[in-house]
Amino acid sequence: MLLALDFPLIVEKLILVVVVVMASLLIAMYATYAERKVAAILQDRRGPNRAGPFGLLQPVADGIKLFFKEEIIPDFSSKFLFILGPSLAMLTAVMTSAVIPWGDKIHLFDRDISLQIADIDVGILYVFGVVSLGVYGIMIGSWASNNKYSLMGGLRAASQIISYELAMGISLIALIMVTGNLSLKEMVLQQQSGWWNVAKQPLGFLIFLICAFAECNRTPFDLPEAESELIGGYHTEYSSMKLGFYLFAEYINMFVSSTIMATLFFGGYDCPFVNEANFSPNVAALIGIGALMAKVVAFLFFFMWVRWTIPRFRYDQLMRLGWQF
């Protein structure tokens, strides 16, 4: 009887998991295309324009290329850990999206369906826990490669993430004191009935944004894979889809970080004036999803804009910023 009662809920959650994972992969795939187009605009060139109309099939071509490239595992590497590294990086990147409220509930088949995989009371702590595990994917892969440049990149990644997680956590403590809870869903609901949290904690948002760049290994904080110093950093020895997993994980992390910033500081799926309008629940939910995606796209563009505008920091500058400033 219990299984019969829970079956519709299980089906809903499974469908939502599949949709969120597939959407994350699709967005990560086309974020690479967007990055190259943004770089081209900022550098006054065309960018990818050969594969398909406007180059829109370039990510598909890149994916096919990665699948069919020769797969090389170094002779003196730890083979099990060499495979585990990129797998763990990809897994933790996708897991973070489990507590994000993607929109308000929708009404289908005489049921109210939540657009959040798991609404837990300690959503922020879950995000921090999973993000902290993500660095193990980099550390394990770099150590297993048996390459000094890879190991140096892994050590940089570990020290960088530890350093900037402290500042990120402190910036969130002030936000938690203002909101009084750790649930991402509750934070969105609070912002719907008042001001967005960025108005209450502008300094906290600025610190969180800077730390997000460091957590995602994005320029100017991409020291773990600095090609001018470490060849390719922690993924120097990787090829084929193992390299693809590391690259995908970076873009999924960027997407999820943008979503979390939009949720914590910019109202999540809240769209001004929609609450006062008499839309049906399903239409309001779709507008909310569109509003959240618009905020996420704005953050993704900012990530890319900064990458092609600001030069990479030196490692001592990175640490000085994290610990002293």
Q: In which band, very low, low, confident or very high, does the pLDDT at 301 lie, cut at 50, 70 and 90?
A: very high
Instruction: Note the pLDDT tens digit of each residue in 169-226.
Output: 888 888 888 888 888 888 888 888 878 899 988 999 999 999 998 888 887 888 777 7
Residue 137 clears pLDDT 60, i.e. is over it? yes
Each as own residue / partner, the long-range contacts of residues 123-126 (CB below 8 Å, 24 or more positions apart, any chain) are 123/99, 123/182, 123/183, 123/184, 123/185, 124/172, 124/176, 124/182, 124/184, 124/264, 125/182, 126/98, 126/99
pLDDT digits (tens, 9 = 90+) for 26-74: 888 889 899 999 999 888 898 888 888 888 899 889 888 888 888 888 7
What's the predicted TM-score (pTM) here?
A: 0.87
| Residues 48 and 58 sit within 8 Å (Cβ to Cβ) | yes
Residue 2 pLDDT class (50, 70, 90 cuts): very low
Instruction: Report the pLDDT averaged over residues 80-90.
Output: 86
Identify whether the C-beta of residue 47 lies closer than 8 Å to the C-beta of residue 36: yes
The string of pLDDT tens digits covering residues 241-279 is: 888 888 888 888 899 999 999 999 998 888 887 766 677
Gap between the Cα atoms of 299 and 262, Å rounded? 8
Q: Retrieve residue 311's tokens.
A: 């030069």
Q: Does residue 148 have a pLDDT over 90?
A: no
- The encoded tokens of residue 134 equal 């993500």
Question: pLDDT tens for residues 275-296?
Answer: 666 777 788 888 888 999 999 9
107 DSSP assignment: E
Q: 222 with 310: CB under 8 angstroms?
A: no
Average pLDDT over residues 140-160: 84
Which H or E run contains 319?
helix 315-324
Query: What is the percent of the chain where pLDDT is above 70?
Result: 96
- Crossing angle of helices 281-307 and 2-42, rounded to 10°: 40
Q: How far is CA 204 from CA 197, 199, 264, 283, in A?
A: 9, 10, 11, 33
Structure confidence at residue 299 (pLDDT) = 94
Structure tokens at 104: 């308000």
Task: Measure the CA–CA gap between 250 and 272, rounded to whole angstroms.
Answer: 31
